[in-house]
Structure 1
Amino acid sequence: MEPTAGLMALDAALEKMLASLSPLTDAETLPLSQCFGRILARDISSPIDVPGFDNSAMDGYAVRLADLTPEKPLPVAGKAFAGQPFSGEWPAGSVIRIMTGAPVPAGCEAVVMQEEAQIVDDGVLIRATVRAGQNIRLRGEDIAKNAVVFKAGQKMSVAQVPVLASLGVAEVEVVRRLRVAVFSTGDELRLPGEPLDEGQIYDTNRLAVQLMLEQLGCEVINLGIIRDDPAALRQAFIEADRQADVVISSGGVSVGEADYTKTLLEELGEISFWKLAIKPGKPFAFGRLPNSWFCGLPGNPVSAALTFYQLVQPLLLKLSGAQPVAPLRMKVRAAGRFKKSPGRLDFQRGVLRNGEDGQPEVVTTGHQGSHIFSSFSQGNCFVVLERERGNVEPGEWVTVECFNHLFGG
């Protein structure tokens, strides 16, 4: 069993973080076409009824129930189309040919679909049983005038924006984008394309964090790689705090690392350095700088991505005013063995798939080292293994959390 003294549970860390935050109140008004992916700053009420008039749900015939007599054809007195309603006089004992979406004529009690009507020499013969109100969409049936359509905190997606367009809404008040400054620390880091000397590695964490921030709709301030130098680090933190709502660094939060991050942060703000009871991702820092919030991610690539996903993502969503969404988790059978030592909540990467019996099952992506970032591209879910759990054998039940859009889910 791993030593667990002094380790903070993930739920406790997340609760402590979120309790200290208040959502942004700054808002801006944008044209509807520019609101995709943005968070509503205010409730939106419908200015109109939807539909705005009683209309036909089918191509067919508008009828009055009193006119219907078995085996008696009814003449067609006119036609009604979407955008071209029937406006003439509707004689008794007749029907109106009507198309889907067309306003029903005054006095119409039902619409008979054309498949239930037979065209004969003298008009139309209705053979089916007709119920009052059938195939008629009533005014305000979808959305009533003045009803709240979307609440503040709703993210505008393909499911929401067209609804607002159908209401005639041209502008929307949304929360301004979060400004997030991000940088990596370490003399060993190099940019992709540069040659590597002995002991050097490419900086992948900052790119991964930037991409996830962009997926979350943040405005990213990329400050690059900061060398392990007190003056350079101090200037980077001061500049990041001046520009951003949130500052995220990668590296320099592990106990015993040869850097100056911890000393500088404690001098500049109020920062807590936590050892989390999760794997990967034990070292994490959170706190307040003079003008911004700070999150310090571990240096290992998988640890950085995991702590961003499980801790920073909900932090950013709360700051942006988004409605909270609990991660979707479910129990499935393990189709292979998962190696684990008791002591920390383990987020292994797995592949959720359909088994031969048609039921969902999960297998590992392979080696789970905190440097194996390819496990995210190979997998589609986290296999969430409880803190005190040991090895998992095939056939046992495990909890999986499907990747969301940050990892292409």
Structure 2
Amino acid sequence: MVDWTGGGDTGPTPKKDAIWMARAAGGHADAPEYVRNRLIARDRLAEEIQKTLDAGERLMIGFDFPFGYPQGFARHITGSDDPFALWQWITDRAGDLKDGKNRFDLAAQMNALLPGDGPFWFNGIKREIDGLSRKKPPTLPVTELRKAETLAKGAFTCWQMGGAGAVGSQVLMGLPILQSLRAMFPDQIAVWPFEPLDRPIAFIEIWPSLIAAEVAANQQPDEIKDAAQVRTLAAAVSRLSPTELEQMLDVHAPKEGWIFGLGHEQKLAAAARQGRLRNDCFALPPGTHWTPVDEAMDMLRDRLTPVTGTETIPAHAAGGRILAKDAIAAGSHPPHANSAVDGYGFAGGLTPGLHHIPLAAGRAAAGVPWTGTLPQGQALRILTGAPLPDGVDTVVLEEDVRATETEITVEGPLKPGANTRKAGEDVVAGDITLPAGRRLTAPDLALLSSTAIKDVTVHRPLRVGILSTGDEVQPPGAPLAPGQIADANRPMLAEVIRKWGYEVVDLGIARDDRGDVENKLNQGASQADVILTSGGASAGDEDHVSALLRGTGSMALWRIAVKPGRPLALAVWNGAPVFGLPGNPVAAFVCTLIFARPALSALAGAGWSEPIKLTVPAAFSKNKKPGRREYLRARLTNGCSEVFGSEGSGRVSGLSWADGLVELPDGAAVIEPGTPVTYMPFAGFGL
């Protein structure tokens, strides 16, 4: 998405009323890019187009200026209603596109081709220009607004060349860029709504004010509004489902053009709200000191919503994905009444006693149905899965029958409907086959296929950025100098995230330097949906993570009454939720399982997840003090839970030794061998 400008070269410092671009895919926008002038912008757009073509992908580019003028104007200028004829006419006369100083003269030149004093007005330079008034003329020779502007409340006319909100200069300086890009990539660009969107690149007209409230809510502190507009709108459009996108693009607009999303503002706003967490979403109630685990979990459950976009994909390829919408059965299962066994079918049940039933010619088999209607009093050979022919509602097992070529002999009684399956007895067409929020399993794919569901709408995979911090932390396998340690957290957390079905974004190691930490967080916010950091989230001199997060105004240091662990830092960085985990691997692992797992599940669209808890006899002794919930590394032996010999959180070997955790309550407890305790297997955490 591109925010355009009608002014000249604005210099190297990012500012408002300049050119801003933001690229988005999968519901997540990259950081907005400031572009100094229009020629540089043209080259950047050409670069993006070429990259898209080389990758065999498709790209939509939105520009925030009108693609046409009110109906009839093009004919006055070019003698044709063809919008591209007008584009070329303007391009041939636009002059220096870098500074755009002649745009006012160009407006006056077009005014001269129409009767009266207009339609263009507002001379924005010191010298007087014959034919371009500084104020709006009392009457205009053409319509003031396009049809789109009459429907878009607050939209400006394209005749006004300057002043707050005016777009006249943007049009005259923007259309030549679009026309030059069309010339650079012939037959590769479709301009909406003038051309069918059957080419890899689409140009659309946008107006970010359609979702002004969402832009304002999404704007970061000190962020330029234009940058927030393109970032928010790009992310929103990339979250639209194919159906929603098709609906917004399906317009019957006049040759003057149209605004994308007009008439669909609520859907566009809803897409903009997806993936956005309030900056205060992690705020604790006033006076909170140490928060019990259950209260912390309740707060997270209440405040977290999905942050991923959605897409529609073939149902057979959706294994492991999370449904964003209920999957509705397109067909019943079974689709028709059929035989549950190999045997012989007939109408009605059998009374007690011996029955001799004439046998009809032929047989019914799965995939080879028997056509016609079976006469009353006759039987038909039928195989498992075969549709029941007309005249058949009961089947007798072949093991219970003596058969010749002309009849069967069977002993009654037999209930009507025996050994058959009714149509739709499993699922009826129109029923909810699987609910939104479910992560699809292999049996789910069988169910989707059985109910004739071709496509499903799923959340895009959650992308989790993993960042380690500290000067002492070195990459795994690197030689260690005195005082240095290997990075145990990143490989551990990456494997956990992969096991949970999310995409890992490896952010590496940030040194104890505020600038380096900030760069890593910016990288994470642009590439991931959520960030997990380990270390640097306390309050020491080198704890730059917490210092930077506090600077956003969104950080909350949750002092949770839990062992192992220390305060959990929670914040929102450039729209991405950040979980600041302890640096100790044991504490980081436990906090990830207890707090991050259900939170990530909610952020991914699968809802809040609860671990499996089993009550088993203890095989250890412990006198627990009150005040904190404790999690001990444990494993089951002969049905009893033993715990690792040392509770020290520095003993990483205990994580490898264990196959689960023992959860001890917040209050005091005396544990002896045989005492019932709560055991949480790692398998119940999805590991």
What's the TM-score once normalised by structure 2's chain length?
0.55
Question: Which residue of the partner structure matches residue 483 of structure 2?
Answer: 199
The correspondence of residues 273-284 of structure 1 with structure 2, limited to 5 A, is 273-284=557-568
Query: How far apart are the structure 1 equivalents of 2:458 and 2:668?
Result: 44
| Cα displacement (A) at 1:260 | 2.3
| Cα displacement (A) at 1:236 | 1.7
| Cα displacement (A) at 1:75 | 3.3
Mean CA deviation greater in 367-376 or 306-315: 367-376
Specify whether residues 55 and 337 from structure 1 end up closer, same or farther in structure 2 by C-alpha distance, changes over 3 A only. same
Q: Tell whether the 8 Å contact from 2:338 to 2:421 is kept in structure 1 after alignment.
A: yes
Question: Which residue of the partner structure matches residue 189 of structure 1?
Answer: 473
| Cα displacement (A) at 1:296 | 0.2
Is 1:93 the equivalent of 2:372? no
Q: Tell whether the 8 Å contact from 2:427 to 2:451 is kept in structure 1 after alignment.
A: no
The correspondence of residues 320-339 of structure 1 with structure 2, limited to 5 A, is 320-338=604-622
After superposition, give the CA deviation of every residue in 1:215-256 in whole Å (9 maximum; x if it has no partner).
233232211011111221122222222333212110112344
Specify whether residues 143 and 199 from structure 1 end up closer, same or farther in structure 2 by C-alpha distance, changes over 3 A only. same
Q: Secondary structure at the match of 1:261?
A: helix
Is 1:20 the equivalent of 2:20? no
Query: How far apart are the structure 1 equivalents of 2:666 and 2:539?
Result: 22
Specify whether residues 225 and 21 from structure 1 end up closer, same or farther in structure 2 by C-alpha distance, changes over 3 A only. same
Matching residue's letter, 1:324? W
Mean CA deviation greater in 373-382 or 101-110: 373-382
Matching residue's letter, 1:404? A
Aligned residues: 399
After superposition, give the CA deviation of every residue in 1:325-376 in whole Å (9 maximum; x if it has no partner).
32222322112334644331111122235x4xxxx42222432321233333
Larger radius of gyration: 2
1:138 is matched with which residue: 422, 441, 462?
422
Q: Which structure 1 residue ranges, 5 or more long, are not aligned?
A: none
| Cα displacement (A) at 1:190 | 1.4
Specify whether residues 73 and 407 from structure 1 end up closer, same or farther in structure 2 by C-alpha distance, changes over 3 A only. closer
Question: Which residue of the partner structure matches residue 361 of structure 1?
Answer: 640
Mean CA deviation greater in 187-196 or 20-29: 20-29
Query: How far apart are the structure 1 equivalents of 2:332 and 2:543?
Result: 62
Is 1:35 the equivalent of 2:318? yes
| Cα displacement (A) at 1:122 | 6.1
Q: Secondary structure at the match of 1:400?
A: strand
Question: Which residue of the partner structure matches residue 509 of structure 2?
Answer: 225
Q: Which structure 2 residue ranges, 5 or more long, are not aligned?
A: 1-287
Specify whether residues 41 and 167 from structure 1 end up closer, same or farther in structure 2 by C-alpha distance, changes over 3 A only. same
Q: Tell whether the 8 Å contact from 2:328 to 2:433 is kept in structure 1 after alignment.
A: yes
Matching residue's letter, 2:296? A
The correspondence of residues 2-401 of structure 1 with structure 2, limited to 5 A, is 6-24=289-307, 26-65=309-348, 70-77=353-360, 78-88=362-372, 90-119=374-403, 123-256=407-540, 258-338=542-622, 340-353=624-637, 355=638, 360-401=639-680
| Cα displacement (A) at 1:92 | 4.1
After superposition, give the CA deviation of every residue in 1:33-64 in whole Å (9 maximum; x if it has no partner).
43111111111111111111110111111122
Query: How far apart are the structure 2 equivalents of 1:89 and 1:407?
Result: 53
Q: Secondary structure at the match of 2:519?
A: helix
Matching residue's letter, 1:363? E
Query: How far apart are the structure 2 equivalents of 1:260 and 1:122?
Result: 90
Query: How far apart are the structure 1 equivalents of 2:557 and 2:583?
Result: 14
Q: Secondary structure at the match of 2:672?
A: coil
Query: How far apart are the structure 1 equivalents of 2:455 and 2:618?
Result: 49
Specify whether residues 158 and 372 from structure 1 end up closer, same or farther in structure 2 by C-alpha distance, changes over 3 A only. farther
Q: Secondary structure at the match of 1:192?
A: coil
Identical positions, percent: 35
Matching residue's letter, 1:248? L
Query: How far apart are the structure 2 equivalents of 1:333 and 1:344?
Result: 22
Query: How far apart are the structure 2 equivalents of 1:329 and 1:347?
Result: 13
Question: Which residue of the partner structure matches residue 181 of structure 2?
Answer: none
Matching residue's letter, 1:9? P
| Cα displacement (A) at 1:391 | 4.3
Q: Secondary structure at the match of 1:235?
A: helix
What is the RMSD of the two structures over their aligned residues, measured on CA atoms? 2.3
Specify whether residues 102 and 227 from structure 1 end up closer, same or farther in structure 2 by C-alpha distance, changes over 3 A only. same
Specify whether residues 128 and 272 from structure 1 end up closer, same or farther in structure 2 by C-alpha distance, changes over 3 A only. same
| Cα displacement (A) at 1:305 | 0.9
| Cα displacement (A) at 1:88 | 4.5
Query: How far apart are the structure 2 equivalents of 1:64 and 1:269?
Result: 76
Specify whether residues 21 and 67 from structure 1 end up closer, same or farther in structure 2 by C-alpha distance, changes over 3 A only. closer
Q: Tell whether the 8 Å contact from 2:352 to 2:411 is kept in structure 1 after alignment.
A: no
Specify whether residues 387 and 148 from structure 1 end up closer, same or farther in structure 2 by C-alpha distance, changes over 3 A only. same
Of Structure 1 and Structure 2, the greater strand share is in 1
Matching residue's letter, 1:158? A
After superposition, give the CA deviation of every residue in 1:305-331 in whole Å (9 maximum; x if it has no partner).
111111111111111211333222232
Of Structure 1 and Structure 2, the greater helix share is in 2
Matching residue's letter, 2:506? N
Query: How far apart are the structure 1 equivalents of 2:539 and 2:672?
Result: 34
| Cα displacement (A) at 1:120 | 5.6
Query: How far apart are the structure 1 equivalents of 2:396 and 2:686?
Result: 49
Q: Tell whether the 8 Å contact from 2:507 to 2:523 is kept in structure 1 after alignment.
A: no
Q: Tell whether the 8 Å contact from 1:190 to 1:203 is kept in structure 2 after alignment.
A: yes
Q: Which has the higher contact order (CA 8 A, sep 6+)?
A: 1
Specify whether residues 256 and 145 from structure 1 end up closer, same or farther in structure 2 by C-alpha distance, changes over 3 A only. same
Matching residue's letter, 1:318? A
Matching residue's letter, 2:530? V
Matching residue's letter, 1:70? G
Matching residue's letter, 1:351? R
Matching residue's letter, 2:578? F
Mean CA deviation greater in 49-58 or 261-270: 261-270
Query: How far apart are the structure 1 equivalents of 2:374 and 2:455?
Result: 42
Q: Tell whether the 8 Å contact from 1:215 to 1:405 is kept in structure 2 after alignment.
A: no
